[in-house]
Structure 1
Amino acid sequence: MHVIETAKIPWSLVSKANRPGRVHRKLVHEGEVSPGVGYTADLVRYEGGHGTFTAPRHKHNFDQIRYTVSGQPDFGHYQVSAPGQSVFFPAGAAYGPETIEEAEILLIQWGEHWVSRAQHDETYAQMQKKGEFREGYYITVDADGEEHRADGRNAVWETFNQRELVYPTPRYPQPVIMEPEGFAWRSTGGGVSAKTLGRFTEDDVYVANYAWDKADGVLDLTAERTQLLWIIDGRLTVDDVVYEPGTVIFSEFGEKTALAGTADARAVVFGLPLPEPAAVA
């Protein structure tokens, strides 16, 4: 289990950015869900005013989930998220153009052939010697003076892996925004109620909100997968340690985590991909 109390971590300005706008982040965690399937989780803050974040319409070869803590990020084509909503972004599905101003988002991304944070930053620095990152693109000029543009993030992936990025066929045509207010609470037993907002893909990725109905309620995160919990309201206790809102709790594959909460506690849990049987064996 890993616990990250994000309120105690200072913000860092994203200096190696391939999108315009001032963005700050707190690295929450980075690792593997199973062999070859890496993930990273960040708390991201977008500045407003002159620092508005923008990105052209684009897509990735990995899946992601974004949980809106504050603000109203616009993901393009009338897909605007509100605080408390989770959004699943399928690999291969286009979204944007993005406009994000004065927002805070918990961002989780995962996929095969993952490029770690350190690998990204080293590759980014090398690429700046031959071109520049501007307006969401990586821009180079050939010997004839002709300008070439590629999506900035994807260009880093291709440079690091030394091969062309091939997008998967999207399982869903666009991002899926989940509105918790549209779901009913269902008791899980143990003094906790749940709203299962969605289950996605053959990897059984899930998103669920939980509410502690009484002070002695307990939520059990089981061992079959890695799960990430974000405390929305109230306090949760794990191994006799009390945690405040804004804390991220990772329950890793192979371990069980019991979370006791105050009567007003609320949390959202993201179940990351189930390992393939071969990876478990």
Structure 2
Amino acid sequence: MRLVQASEKKWRGNQLRHRKGKILLKRLIEGEAGSTENYGLHIGRESAEFFSPRHRHPWDQIRYCISGSVPIGPGKTIDAGEIGYFPEGLHYGPQEGPERTVMVIQFGGASGKGYLNRDEINRAYDELGEFGRFEKGIFRRTRGNGKRNMDGYEAIWQYLTGAPLEFPPPRYSEPVIMKPAHFAWRQGGTFGIEQKNLGRFSERGTEVTIYRLAPGKRQVLPGTDHLRILFVMKGNGKCGRRYYLRHTAIEVAPGETAAFTPEARTELLCITIPSVAALKLKAS
């Protein structure tokens, strides 16, 4: 198990340089670079100047709006307390609007294309500067062979992999916006733990669940066969022997249990991510 406190991380700029405008990130917890099981979880503070054109990704993404309102297209937002699921291959955007704070977890989708980590992306951004420039999320090539104008992320993917980015066909027609406040709590499989089951997505079976733990007693999330990433939405206490606070991220490996002793009522956003390799999924 790994536990990372957001309060111990510094805000870092220049982490999405292929997009336009100011954004600060706290990179909390990440998977294994180069693996189809790789993932990255961060908290982002996106300024009103931040702009991302209409685009798509070759991986899945889940966003939890902590404050403000996350623009995802004309007239569409994820408001504070809501959670959005963005399937691989699906267009969304443009993104521009008032300042907001959001937790984002990105991970390879069922197609098995995987996920590039932030360090690789930033290295490619620097090196591509020899061949062109990034403007408002678009890479504009001025030297060398290749498409003259293309989405910034697609240019980075092609540069790192040596092949054009081929997107998997979208499995959904639009992002799925979950409104946890409209779901009822129900008793979980462990005494003292309540839960809201918000959704299960694609043939990979990615699950989004919120757990609520009452203070004062030790409560255990039993082990499962899959990777689970927990994000503390509210509350504080101990997980095992370590303290957790609001916005702590916890990685629970397959087979591991997670024992909590809350000092205040705690709500955990849980993203369950089954293994692409174990499921023997093949790209569409």
Task: Tell me if TM exceeds 0.5.
Answer: yes
Evaluate the alpha carbon distance shift between residue 179 and residue 16 of structure 1 in structure 2; reply closer, same or farther with a 3 A threshold.
Answer: closer
2:42 counterpart residue number: 42
Q: Note the 1:105-116 alignment, pairs <5 A.
A: 105-111=102-108, 112-116=113-117
**How far did 1:256 drift?**
2.1
Give the match for residue 12 of structure 1.
Answer: 12
What SS does structure 1 have at the residue aligned with 2:96? strand
Q: What residue is the counterpart of 2:179 in the other structure?
A: 179
Could you tell me which residue of structure 1 aligns to residue 196 of structure 2?
195
Q: Which amino acid aligns with 1:153?
A: Y
Describe the shift of the 1:25–1:34 C-alpha distance in structure 2 as closer, same or farther (beyond 3 A). closer
Superposition misfits of 4+ residues, deviation over 4 angstroms: none
Shift of 1:44: 0.9
Match of residue 98 from structure 2 = 101
Contact residue 235 and residue 265 of structure 2 kept, 8 A:
yes
Note if contact 1:192-1:210 (Cα within 8 Å) is conserved in structure 2.
yes
2 CA distance for matches of 1:187 and 1:162?
A: 50
The answer for the alignment partner of 1:135 in structure 2 is: 136
Q: Aligned equivalents of 2:10 and 2:215: distance in 1?
A: 33
What are the within-5 Å matches in structure 2 for residues 85-234 of structure 1? 85-111=82-108, 112-141=113-142, 148-188=148-188, 189-216=190-217, 218-234=219-235
Output the amino acid matched with 2:88.
Answer: A
Alignment RMSD (CA, Å): 2.3
Aligned to 2:24: 24
Is the partner of 1:73 in helix, strand or coil?
strand
Indicate conservation of the 8 Å contact 1:16/1:124, yes or no: no
Q: Aligned pair in 2 of structure 1 residues 16, 206: CA closer, same or farther (>3 Å)?
A: closer
Which sections of structure 1, spanning at least 5 residues, go unmatched? Answer: none
- Separation (CA, whole Å) in 1 of partners of 2:278 and 2:10: 39
Letter in 2 for 1:266: E
Aligned pair count reads: 274
Distance (Å, rounded) in 2 between the aligned partners of 1:101 and 1:278: 41
Q: Return the letter of the residue paired with 1:38.
A: N
Counterpart contact for 2:33–2:117, Cα < 8 Å: no
Distance, in Å, in 1 between the alignment partners of 2:50 and 2:222 is: 35
**1:142, CA displacement in angstroms?**
6.1
SS at match of 1:98: coil
Q: Which residue matches 2:257?
A: 256
Q: CA deviation at 1:8?
A: 1.7
| Contact 1:192–1:217 (8 Å) recurs in 2 | no
Give the partner amino acid of 1:132.
R
Distance of 1:142 and 1:129 partners within structure 2: 8
> SS in structure 2 opposite 1:12?
coil
The alpha-carbon distance between structure 1 residues 206 and 236, as it changes in their structure 2 partners (threshold 3 A), is farther
Per-residue CA deviation, residues 127-173 of structure 1 (Å, 9 max, x unaligned), is 01110011111111369xxx922111121001111111111111111
For 1:163 and 1:270, the matched residues in 2 are separated by: 31
Whether the aligned pair in 2 keeps the contact of 1:217 and 1:261 (CA below 8 Å) is yes
Note if contact 1:33-1:253 (Cα within 8 Å) is conserved in structure 2: no
Identical columns (%): 28
**Partners of 1:180 and 1:8 in 2: how far apart?**
28
Q: TM-score, normalised by structure 1?
A: 0.90
- State the distance in 2 between where 1:275 and 1:33 align: 15
Structure-2 separation of matches of 1:223 and 1:35: 21
Q: In 2 relative to 1, CA 3–81 (structure 1 residues): closer, same or farther, beyond 3 Å?
A: same
Q: 1:74 to 1:39 in 2, by over 3 A?
A: same
